[in-house]
Amino acid sequence: MEGFLSSTERRKQRAAYRAQSRKIYVIFGLLIIAFLFVSKYYQTLEQEETYSGPKKIQVDNSGNIYLQLQNQIFKFDKEGNQLFWIGKPENGQGPFDGYIDFSVDDKENIYVADSKNKKIYLYNKEGALLSAFGKQGSSEGEFKSIIKISVDEVGNIYVLDMYNARVQAFSNDGKFLWFCKIGVMMVPDEITIDKEGKIIVIDAQKDNISTISSSGKRLKTINLRNSKLLGLAGIITTDTSNNYIIADYFTPNIWKIDSAGKEEKLNVDFSKKEKIAISDITSDENGNLWVVDERQFVVLKIDAEGKTKSFMSNDLGNLLKELESKWKRIMLMRRLYLILIFTLVLISLVLLLYKKR
C-alpha cells in the first residue's frame, strides 16, 4: 500500500540516519576537542600578568620613565631603554597579588602599594627591595583596601584606603604619622601632592577634588558634578598656582582647573582621537605632559603647545607592541571560545531532535 515503506526501504532509511548521526557525533567530538584546546590556551594567556594596556606612568627628575602594566612596574631611561622591572614572577607567581599602585620620590625610590596583601613596599633606584610595612585592619597604620599611593619631596608616604575611607601618612621608614577621614568614596581615583605639599584626592564617581593639609587637616572640596568632564582619569599639579590638570577618560580631553573650580580645556592635538583611552597622566620637570593610552598601547608626550608625540622608543616601544599583540590573541581566543560554545549548544539541540525521530 502507498504510504507504507518496505522492510528494505526502512533498513536503507535507518542506515542513512545512522550514517548522518555518526557524522554529527564526529563533528561534535571534534568541536569538543577544539573547545578544550581553545579554552586551555585562552586561560593560559589570561593568567599571564601583563596582557592588558598600561595603567600608570611617572617621570622622575632625571627623565626616567616608570610604567605600570598590570601588577608589574618597568623603569626605562629617558631614551626608552629598559633598566629593570619590579614584580617579575618566580615559580609562576609574582610578589604582588592583585591590584597595585606606585609612586616615585625625588631620589628615584619606588613605593608600591599592594592592595590584596595590605602592604607598602619600598625599592631603591636599582630595583632592590629595601623594606615593607602594613597589615589588614582599621587601626592606625593598617589597611583594608589600598587604592592609591603618593610620596612628597621629603619622602613621606600618603596612602588612600577606600574601605577605611581615609588617607594615612607615613614617614619613609613606615612610621605612622596621621590619618584624615575623607568619608565614603565611591571610586577614589587618584592621590597626589601639589607644589605646596598639600594632598589632593580625586573621587571619580562623585566628581570631587578634596584638599588635605600636610598635617592631615581637611581643607576644602571642589565638586565637578556639573562639569563638562565625563570621566576623570588622573590628576596632577603643574604650575606655581597649583592648577589641576585632569584627563577625561571618555572624550578624551585634558582640562586645567583652578582652585575655584574654573575649567579650561587645553588645546591638545590627539591623532586618532576617537580611539584614545587615557588611563593616567603625569608631567615632567620641563612642563611636558605624559599620558598612557591603554586602548592603543602607546605612551604619548605632550609639549607646551599641545602637540603630541608617540613615545615608542627602543625597549619601551617593543614591550608595548608585544603586549598589544598578546591582547589581540586573547581577544581572538575569546571570540573563538564563544563561537564554539554556541556551536556546541546548537549541535546538541540537533542531536536531541534526531533522537526523538
323 in any annotated domain = no
Residues 42 and 60 in one domain: no
d(CA 218, CA 198) in angstroms, rounded, equals 10
Pairing of strands 166-170, 289-293: unpaired
Residues 79 and 116 in one domain: yes
d(CA 219, CA 213) in angstroms, rounded, equals 7
Residues 20 and 115 in one domain: no
268, amino acid identity: V
Give the model confidence (pLDDT) of 219-238 as tens digits.
888 877 666 665 555 667 66
Residue recorded with cell 602637540: 307
151 in any annotated domain = yes
DSSP assignment string, 253-283: -EEEE-TT--EEE---B-TTGGG--EEEEEE
Q: What is the pLDDT of residue 306?
A: 82
Q: Which of 161, 101, 45, 281 is nearest to 86 (CA)?
A: 101
Verdict on whether the full-model pTM lies above 0.85 = no
Residues 273 and 343 in one domain: no
Residues 138 and 223 in one domain: yes
Residues 151 and 78 in one domain: yes
Q: How far is CA 55 from CA 6, 8, 213, 275, 276, in A?
A: 73, 71, 28, 16, 13
d(CA 297, CA 232) in angstroms, rounded, equals 19
pLDDT at 140 over 60: yes
337 in any annotated domain = yes
**Total domain count, the chain:** 2
Residues 288 and 272 in one domain: yes
36 in any annotated domain = yes
- Quick one: pLDDT band at residue 134, thresholds 50, 70, 90? very high
Residues 340 and 298 in one domain: no
324 in any annotated domain = no
- Quick one: pLDDT band at residue 58, thresholds 50, 70, 90? very high
Look over the chain and give the mean of its residue pLDDT values, rounded to a whole number: 79
Give the model confidence (pLDDT) of 174-208 as tens digits.
999 999 987 665 555 688 888 888 998 887 666 77
Helix, strand, coil percent values for the chain (each to nearest 5): 25, 35, 40
Q: What is the pLDDT of residue 1?
A: 45
Q: What is the pLDDT of residue 50?
A: 47
Grouping H, G, I as helix, E, B as strand and the rest as coil, residue 250 is: coil
Q: Which of 53, 88, 64 is nearest to 295 (CA)?
A: 53
Residues 108 and 31 in one domain: no
Q: Judge residue 84's burial from the number of C-beta atoms within 10 Å of its C-beta, 0-12 exposed, 13-18 middle, 19 or more buried.
A: middle
Average pLDDT, stretch 239-266? 79
Q: What is the pLDDT of residue 49?
A: 46
Residues 19 and 74 in one domain: no
Domain CATH number, residue 284: 2.120.10.30
* Listed ranges 50-54, 276-280, 299-303; the one with the highest mean pLDDT: 299-303
37 in any annotated domain = yes
210 in any annotated domain = yes
Q: Which range marks the domain in which residue 13 is found?
A: 7-46+331-356
Residues 34 and 177 in one domain: no
- How many percent of the chain have pLDDT more than 90? 25
Q: What is the pLDDT of residue 270?
A: 75
299, amino acid identity: V
Grouping H, G, I as helix, E, B as strand and the rest as coil, residue 86 is: strand
Scored b (16 or more CB within 10 A) or e, 336-347 reads bbeebeeeeeeb
- 255 and 246 in contact (C-beta within 8 Å)? yes
94 in any annotated domain = yes
Residues 281 and 209 in one domain: yes
What is the CA 30 to chain-centroid distance, rounded? 37
Q: What is the pLDDT of residue 52?
A: 65
Instruction: Give phi and psi for 77, each to the nearest 5.
Output: -75, 180
